[in-house]
Chains A and B, each alone.
Chain A
Amino acid sequence: KAGVTQTPRYLIKTRGQQVTLSCSPISGHRSVSWYQQTPGQGLQFLFEYFSETQRNKGNFPGRFSGRQFSNSRSEMNVSTLELGDSALYLCASSLEGEAFFGQGTRLTVV
């Protein structure tokens, strides 16, 4: 059974640009959550999607958005990138409360 796949693994962007990250959950998992992880703030919840609907949202500005497709694959988008957006972005798919994480996308904003 394939795990959670995130693409790309690494990304370098310039301030002001936008970026789209992709997440393919484990087959059969309908819940996908996104997290931002930085050394100073730890693991911070961005949003959760379930059956194409945003079910929960963390405390992040509107520049951070996401969506989920009918096949449960999810994307998150960050517009007008800032230096502080540099982080490891993790996606997790869930079934019955247990979250299974992808390897993450390391985003560096320069």
Chain B
Amino acid sequence: TQLLEQSPQFLSIQEGENLTVYCNSSSVFSSLQWYRQEPGEGPVLLVTVVTGGEVKKLKRLTFQFGDARKDSSLHITAAQPGDTGLYLCAGEPPSGGYQKVTFGTGTKLQVIP
């Protein structure tokens, strides 16, 4: 069973601060996705990273895939209240099997105005 551990579990910061969320596993993934979910809604896909060491930027969000494709990080610069939500990482297992996508444990972020 492939597990994805996210840290921290909860994060409460002031508007304008920077933060980093981590997603770690002992398993290799062919790709990894990050989602943001707001209360009562479904998760919304933010980004997919595929290549080891890959860095993708989405406005103030920077996503990195580890060199060994076992971990990832999400860095938010100058957080805003609109960034509040549950951040989930999800890993796709290596191709060739029918294993399901594995979701991380989640990081609940609160940005205080």
Whether A66 is near chain B, meaning CB under 8 Å from some CB there, is no
Residues of B within 8 A of A (CB): 30-31, 33, 35, 40-45, 48, 88, 90, 92, 98-101, 103, 105-106
Per-position contact with B for A89-100: 1 when CB-CB < 8 Å, else 0? 010101001111
Pairwise interchain contact A101-B101, C-beta atoms closer than 8 A = no
Q: Which residues of A contact B (CB under 8 A)?
A: 4, 6, 33, 35, 42-43, 45, 48, 50, 55-56, 88, 90, 92, 94, 97-104, 106
Whether A97 contacts B45 by the Cβ 8 Å rule is no
Interface pair A43/B103, CB less than 8 Å apart? yes
- Quick one: which of A94, A103, A104 contacts B101, CB cutoff 8 A? A94
| A residues in contact with B41, CB < 8 Å | 103-104
Extra inter-chain contacts (5) besides given A97-B33, A101-B43, A103-B40, CB under 8 Å? A35-B103, A98-B45, A101-B35, A103-B41, A106-B40
A45 to B44, CA, bound (A): 17
| A99–B46 alpha-carbon span in the complex (Å) | 11
Whether B100 and A90, one on each chain, are in contact in the complex, defined by CB atoms closer than 8 angstroms, is: no
Q: Is the CB of A33 within 8 A of B40?
A: no
Smallest distance from the beta carbon of A106 to chain B beta carbons, Å?
A: 7
From B31, B35, B40, A97 is in contact (CB under 8 Å) with B31
